Structure 1
Amino acid sequence: MDWIGHGGSDGLHGYVHSLDDAVNDLKEFLDKVLMENPGLPCFCFGHSTGAAIILKAMMDPRTENLVKGVVLTSPAVRVQPSHPIFVVIAPIISFLLPKYQLSGANRRGIPVSRDEKALAAKYSDPLVYTGAIRVRTGAEILRMTSYLQQNLSRLTIPFMVLHGTADTVTDPEASKKLYEEASSNDKSIKLYEGYLHDLLFEPEWETIVKEIIYWLNSRVNV
C-alpha cells in the first residue's frame, strides 16, 4: 500500500497532511485484505516511514490482533533532520507553508545504497518521489518518530527489524531501542555492518530477502 501522496496513491506527490491518515488507511486496507482472504495469516512489511506507520497501527490492540507479525526495514523510529533547527521551526513553517519544499533536503543527496545501478533504476521510476521534502511531511515524520520513541513498550506483536549500521536517513540505534523496549515475546533484530538505508537495493539484497522469508515461513503455522 502506497501512503497518501506517494507512489500510485492520490494527493500531491511527496505531501501528507497527517501521517495519522496513513495509519487509518492501513487499518482499512487490512480489514479489506482479511475480508477477501478469510483464514489466511496476515503479515505486514514496511520500510522507513512505512515501517513507522505500521508500528503505530500495531499499537492499536484491535489492529494488532488481526496481524500475525510484522517485518520492518530501516524503520523511522528516529530520523536525522537536514538541519537541527528544523525540529524547532517545523511546526510553525508547516502551519504557514505546509507544501513548501526544503531545498537543502533533496533525497538524492543522501546515500541510500551502495549499488549505483539499483539506485539508477529506483530513481528512474516516476512513482518514486525524488524532490526535496515538503515541510508538513517532514514535520509529520518528526511527530510520528517522537510518538514512537515514547511508546515502544506498547508493542507486543511478533516482529523482525532489519537495519544497516551506516544508515544516515533513519537511526539504527533507534532500531536497537525498539528491540530492547518492545514488550513482544517474539522479536528479532538484524544489523548489517556498513549497509545503507535501502536494504533491498543493496548488493546483498538477496541474502536479506532470504532471511525475511525464513522468518515469515517459520511463523506461518505457529
Structure 2
Amino acid sequence: MAAAQMEELTSGASGRIIPVFSKPPAIAPFLPLPPRRSRLHPIRLPLVPPPPPPSPPLLLLSAAFYAFRGVAGAEARFVVGKREEEDTLRRRALAEGLQTVDETDDWASRCRWRTSLFFGVRSNALFWRSWFPVTGELKGILVIIHGLNEHSGRYAHFARQLTSCNFGVYAMDWIGHGGSDGLHGYVPSLDHVVEDTGAFLEKIKSENPGIPCFLFGHSTGGAVILKAASYPHIEQMLEGIILTSPALGVKPAHPIVGAVAPLFSLVAPKYQFKGANKSGIPVSRDPAALLAKYSDPLVYTGPMRVRTGHEILRISAYLLRNFKSVTIPFFVLHGTADKVTNPLASQDLYNEAASTYKDIKLYEGFLHDLLFEPERDEVARHIIDWMEKRLTAGNHENVKSQWSNSFDAKKV
C-alpha cells in the first residue's frame, strides 16, 4: 500500500473525534423552532373565537393517521433492529472463526485457548477469548480491554509473549465491538463498559481463586480501566493496572462542538460524522500493522457516531478532574509522537496520582498503537517486567516504585 494511502488511516480515539458537522442531523422533529418575528412589526394575534372541535369523522381519521404512523415507526425500528442483530451475528461468527493460534506453530502445543460469551450487567452478550500456558506455575492473569473500534483478537501476539512468561490472558470485546452485541462502533455509554469490565473481572477472579490479576487498557480502553479501578471493590481485586496511550484530556475539534455534543448525543445518538475517522493521523510506524488493522473486518472504520464521541469526551474530562484520587498501582506507557491521545496527559496522571506505586515510560518518536509498533516486543517486555516486579514487591502498601532507578520517569 502506498504511503499516501496509509496516512488516511487513523484510530477512532483521536482528539478530533467530533469535527464540524458536514451535514447537520435532522433534529427538526425533536426541536421545533419558533416563528421569526420582525422587530419593527410585532405579530398581533387577532381576537377571533377558537375553531370548533373537529367532527367525529375527522377525529377518527386523525386517530387512524397517528396509529398508522406509530405502526410504521415500530416497523422501521424492527427493520433497523433486525439489521443490527444480523450484523452482530456476522461479526460474532468472524470473531469465533479467527485463528489467533497457528496450529502449525509450536506455541499451539504450549498454549490452550478458548472463546465464549459473557453476559454483561444489562444482559448483553459480550464475546471474550483467553490464552493460558499449558505447563508451569501461573504467575498471574492479565485482563485486556481493547481500544475504540478494535477487538480482542488483535492482541494474540501480546498474549503469546505473556503465556511464554507464565501469565494467563483474558480479553473482552466491549459492546458494539468485535463479537459482542450492539451496533458496530456504537457505544451508548462508556459507564456500561466500565460496569461490564468489573463484572467480567469478578467472573475471572471466581474461576481463578488466589491468582493475582492485572487490568490492561489501550487508548479509550485505558480510560475505561482507570475509571473502573476507582471503585474500591474493583481496586481490591487487582494488583495493578497498565495503560497504553490512554484517552485522557481529549478535546473536541472546536469549543462549540463540546457545548452541543450532549444535546446531539440525545436527539441523534447514532448519527455519523462524515470523515470522523479519516483525519490522516497515523497510529503506527509499521505499514504492515496499519494494513492488517484497517483490512480487518472486525475493526470499525466507519465515521464516528455522535454518542460514542460524546462518551469519550465525558469520561476523559471526568478522569482529568480526578487524577489526584487515583490510588491503585499503575504503569502508563505513551509514545511522544502520538497524535491521537496526548502523552502530556499521561505525564500529568503520573505526576498527580496519589498512588504510592506508579511508573511511566515515554517512548521517543513512537505513535499511538504501542503494541503494533516495530518495537512491539520491547514494549511487551517492559509490561511483563513491571508485573513481575509488582508481584515480588511483597507488602504493597507504602512501597515505592522499584523502577525509579531503571527508567527515566519522563522519557526513554
TM-score bracket for this pair, using the shorter chain length: over 0.9
Q: 2:333 aligns to what SS in structure 1?
A: strand
Q: Structure 2 CA distance, aligned partners of 1:176 and 1:88?
A: 27
Select 1:104's aligned residue among 266, 272, 275: 275
Q: 1:105 aligns to what SS in structure 2?
A: coil
Q: 1:132 aligns to what SS in structure 2?
A: coil
Report if the CA contact (8 A) 2:262-2:310 is conserved.
yes
Q: Structure 2 CA distance, aligned partners of 1:88 and 1:72?
A: 29
Report if the CA contact (8 A) 1:100-1:134 is conserved.
yes
The verdict on how the C-alpha distance between 1:24 and 1:82 changes in structure 2, with shifts beyond 3 A counting, is: same
Q: Structure 1 CA distance, aligned partners of 2:275 and 2:311?
A: 18
The answer to whether 1:184 aligns with 2:184 is: no
Select 1:34's aligned residue among 205, 208, 222: 205
User: Who is 1:16 aligned against?
Assistant: 187
What is the 5 A alignment of 1:1-222? 1-106=172-277, 109-222=280-393
Deviation at 1:206, TM superposition (A): 1.0
The verdict on how the C-alpha distance between 1:107 and 1:201 changes in structure 2, with shifts beyond 3 A counting, is: farther
Report if the CA contact (8 A) 1:80-1:168 is conserved.
no
Report if the CA contact (8 A) 1:82-1:105 is conserved.
no
Number of equivalences? 222
The verdict on how the C-alpha distance between 1:12 and 1:108 changes in structure 2, with shifts beyond 3 A counting, is: farther
Deviation at 1:81, TM superposition (A): 3.2
- Unmatched 5+ residue regions in structure 1? none
Report if the CA contact (8 A) 1:107-1:131 is conserved.
no
Q: Structure 2 CA distance, aligned partners of 1:73 and 1:108?
A: 22
**TM-score normalised by the chain length of structure 1:** 0.96
Superposition CA RMSD, Å:
1.3
Query: Can you list the C-alpha shifts for 1:164-220, whole angstroms capped at 9, x where unaligned?
Result: 111111111100111011110010001111111111111111111111111111122
The verdict on how the C-alpha distance between 1:117 and 1:104 changes in structure 2, with shifts beyond 3 A counting, is: same
Structure 1 outlier segments of 4+, above 4 Å:
none
Q: Structure 2 CA distance, aligned partners of 1:82 and 1:3?
A: 26
Query: Can you list the C-alpha shifts for 1:127-181, whole angstroms capped at 9, x where unaligned?
Result: 1111111110000000000100111111111110000111111111100111011
Report if the CA contact (8 A) 1:80-1:170 is conserved.
no
Q: Which amino acid aligns with 2:358?
A: K
Report if the CA contact (8 A) 1:162-1:191 is conserved.
yes
Q: Structure 1 CA distance, aligned partners of 2:302 and 2:290?
A: 15
Report if the CA contact (8 A) 1:107-1:133 is conserved.
no
The verdict on how the C-alpha distance between 1:40 and 1:199 changes in structure 2, with shifts beyond 3 A counting, is: same
Report if the CA contact (8 A) 1:48-1:76 is conserved.
yes
The verdict on how the C-alpha distance between 1:85 and 1:193 changes in structure 2, with shifts beyond 3 A counting, is: farther
The verdict on how the C-alpha distance between 1:31 and 1:60 changes in structure 2, with shifts beyond 3 A counting, is: same
The verdict on how the C-alpha distance between 1:132 and 1:21 changes in structure 2, with shifts beyond 3 A counting, is: same
Percent identical among aligned pairs is 62
Q: Structure 2 CA distance, aligned partners of 1:33 and 1:207?
A: 28
